[in-house]
Structure 1
Amino acid sequence: MTTASYWWQHLKTKTVALIALALTICLTIISCGGNGGSGDPQAAAGVSPEVVTDYIHTVLLADRTAYTKHVINRLKTLEGKEKEDGVVSAEATETWQQTDGIPLPAQMFRLGSEIAAEEGAFTYGLISPWNINDNQAPKSEFEKTAMQAVVDTGEPYKDYQEIGGQQYFSAVYPDKAVAEACVSCHNTHPVHLERYPDKQFEMGDVMGGIIINLPVDNI
């Protein structure tokens, strides 16, 4: 099994576990509430949607931070540049599928979100006002408002919104630079340099947001 295949299998296992956790929490809400059919997203007793998104975010952030610190930081090469403290003979690169390398943290996160979306329980993803991938630009009014609030305050932004006739409890959490690999990769990326020439991230900076959309009508 190649290094890339190993981490892809690891990602699928962790994502399935996350989905199972979320479904368990949702079932707890239903069993504790007893009035989920009222149509009022705040009516159900038990675990609130806000607590559910906090739980999901905790797992997402822990996995992504661990992957960045303990996998990416141990590789010998990051986007073609040798790392002095690297000990694993592999490269983290945007073109990992073509080179049998390792996905970058943002790519690994997106791969997990695609698996979660297939289950249909909830969705999550990355958004940023300094996006490199156009799919990660804030699009809806909620995303734009939430992202600006997160950048301004460094705190999560949470509210209800309707998407395609379905009501969601949505939360955007600050996505901060937790490792030097996050900073160096973004600051030197050709798209970043072209679009945001005056923006240079530092450790601990808010680089974007992690958005979680939890459907509440079913709850």
Structure 2
Amino acid sequence: MIHRLIRYFRRIKLPVRLITLMIIGVASWFVVVSCGTLDGKQLGAKVPADLVADYIYRIIWSERTIYGKHVVQRLKDENVVMASEHWQQEKSLPLPAQMFRMSSELASENSAFSYGAISPWSLNQNNSPNTEFEERAMQNILETGLPYKDYQVKDGKKYFSALYPDKAVSAACIDCHNQHPVHKQRYPQKVFKVGDVMGGILVNLPIEN
């Protein structure tokens, strides 16, 4: 199956790195689906919650990387189309952060499961660390560069939550933030570079006692 996928992707001339990321995403999702659902009992019985969170994060990370590097940045470099905050009115591409938010909203629709991006330098106050867990996890990431995982109770429901470092993968990411009027007003001393931790990717898995 994997070999067939590789042959197909090569036929349509996708870059090797892009092929690898896509296969990681598909394989990771297959493991999650085959081992258990996001229902609390099944996760506890079949797959450790922290491992499921890791699988989900790898899918999210691969998709964000592909979109940021091989769509937004590539089309910008080739002067084909730009990404814009007002993409609908300007007939441009959604910014990576907007694409991420739209996919996270769709994934969590009618479900207690959720994921999203938070940052102490967020342009949207709703994406700032809000809960005690989020503040503690973000501080840990900024100090160590490592994921932070723990249980938390949010809105009366128990979750296993994991926060992973969210790094700038392309110039398009940092240009958007560094040049944004809100960023310049709120965080004038913060100038991001490619590879910098810009915040965290948060995964919330609902569980039962």
TM-score range, shorter chain: 0.7 to 0.9
Q: Which runs of structure 2 are paired with 1:1-219 in the superposition (5 Å)?
A: 24-27=34-37, 36=41, 44-76=44-76, 85-88=77-80, 90-120=81-111, 122-217=113-208
CA distance in 2, matches of 1:25, 1:190: 46
Instruction: Give the unaligned 5+ runs of structure 2.
Output: 1-25
1:17-67 Cα offsets, whole Å, 9 max, x none, are 89887555434988xxxxx49xxx9xx443100000000000000000000
DSSP-derived class of the 2:163 partner: strand
CA distance in 2, matches of 1:28, 1:121: 9
Contact in 2 for aligned 1:157/1:172 (Cα 8 Å):
yes
Please give the TM-score of this superposition, normalised by the length of structure 1.
0.76
Please give the TM-score of this superposition, normalised by the length of structure 2.
0.80
Size of the aligned set, in residue pairs, is: 183
Give the alignment's Cα RMSD to 1 decimal. Answer: 2.5
Query: Structure 1 residues 190, 216: closer, same or farther in 2, change over 3 A?
Result: same
Which residue is equivalent to 1:11? none
Q: Percent identity, aligned pairs only?
A: 52
Contact in 1 for aligned 2:38/2:205 (Cα 8 Å):
no
Instruction: Give the unaligned 5+ runs of structure 1.
Output: 1-16, 31-35, 77-84
CA distance in 2, matches of 1:25, 1:139: 32
